[in-house]
Chain A
Amino acid sequence: MKSDSWKPWALLGPSLTAVFFLLVIPVCFVVVYSFWLRAPSGNDIPAFQFGNYAKFFADFFYPSLLIRTIRVALETVLLCLVMGYIPAYFFYRTESSLKPFLMILIMLPFWISFIIRTLSWINILGDSGLINHVFLKIGLIDRPLAMLYNEAAVLMGLLQYLLPFMILNIYVSLDGIDKSLTEAAKSLGCTEWQAFKEVTLPLSLPGVSAGCLLVFVLTCGTYLPPMILGGPGNDMIANLIFKRIVGTLDWPFGSALSTILLGLLGVIVYTYNRYLGISQIFKTLQ
Chain B
Amino acid sequence: MKLPSGWSLIRAYTILIYVWMFTPIVAVVLLSFNPQQFGSFPMEGFSFRWYFRLAGNATILGAFKNSIVLGSLTAVLTTAVGIPAAMAFVRYDFRGKDTLNTLLLAPIMIPEVVLGVALLLFIRWLQQPKSFVLLLIGHVVLTLPYVLLVVQARLVGIKKEYEEAAQTLGASPFQTFWSVTFPLLAPAIFAGMLFSFTISFDDVTATLFWATAHNQTVPVKIFGMLRNSISPEINALGTVMIVLTVSIPLFAGYISRRFARAAEK
Binding site for B on A (CB under 8 A): 4-5, 7-16, 18-19, 22-23, 25-27, 29-30, 33, 83-84, 86-87, 89-90, 93-95, 102, 104-105, 108-109, 111-117, 119-124, 126, 128-130, 133, 160, 163, 179, 183, 192, 196, 217-218, 220-224, 228, 238, 241-242, 245-246, 251, 254-255, 258, 261-262, 265, 269, 278, 281-282, 285-286
Q: Is A223 a contact of B202 with CB atoms below 8 Å? A: no
A123 to B230, CA, bound (A): 8
Asked if B56 is an interface residue, CB under 8 A from chain A, the answer is no
- Return the chain B residue nearest A238 by Cβ: B113
- Return the chain A residue nearest B101 by Cβ: A282
Q: Is A133 a contact of B42 with CB atoms below 8 Å? A: yes
Q: Knowing A123-B28, A196-B4 are in contact, say whether A286-B85 is a contact too (CB < 8 A).
A: no
B218 partner residues in chain A, CB cutoff 8 A: 113
- Return the chain B residue nearest A284 by Cβ: B149
Which stretch (B13-21, B45-53, B163-171, B179-187) binds chain A? B13-21
Contact bitstring B92-114, A, C-beta under 8 A = 1, else 0: 10100100101111111111111
Q: Is A282 a contact of B10 with CB atoms below 8 Å? A: no
Q: Is A22 a contact of B242 with CB atoms below 8 Å? A: no
Asked if B61 is an interface residue, CB under 8 A from chain A, the answer is no
A129 to B24, CA, bound (A): 10
- Return the chain A residue nearest B11 by Cβ: A90
B7 partner residues in chain A, CB cutoff 8 A: 93
Q: Is A23 a contact of B230 with CB atoms below 8 Å? A: no
Asked if B205 is an interface residue, CB under 8 A from chain A, the answer is yes
Q: Is B87 a contact of A123 with CB atoms below 8 Å? A: no
Q: Knowing A86-B14, A116-B222, A285-B108 are in contact, say whether A30-B28 is a contact too (CB < 8 A).
A: no
B141 partner residues in chain A, CB cutoff 8 A: 18-19, 22-23
Q: Knowing A111-B245, A112-B242 are in contact, say whether A192-B4 is a contact too (CB < 8 A).
A: yes
Q: Knowing A16-B100, A192-B5 are in contact, say whether A27-B14 is a contact too (CB < 8 A).
A: no
A218 partner residues in chain B, CB cutoff 8 A: 111
Q: Is A130 a contact of B27 with CB atoms below 8 Å? A: yes
Q: State which of B20, B22, B146, B223 has its C-beta within 8 Å of the C-beta of A115.
A: B223
Q: Is B10 a contact of A112 with CB atoms below 8 Å? A: no
A83 to B218, CA, bound (A): 31
B202 partner residues in chain A, CB cutoff 8 A: 111-114
Q: Is B38 a contact of A7 with CB atoms below 8 Å? A: no
B112 to chain A, nearest CB (A): 5
Q: Is A113 a contact of B219 with CB atoms below 8 Å? A: yes
Q: Is A129 a contact of B41 with CB atoms below 8 Å? A: yes
B205 partner residues in chain A, CB cutoff 8 A: 114, 221-224
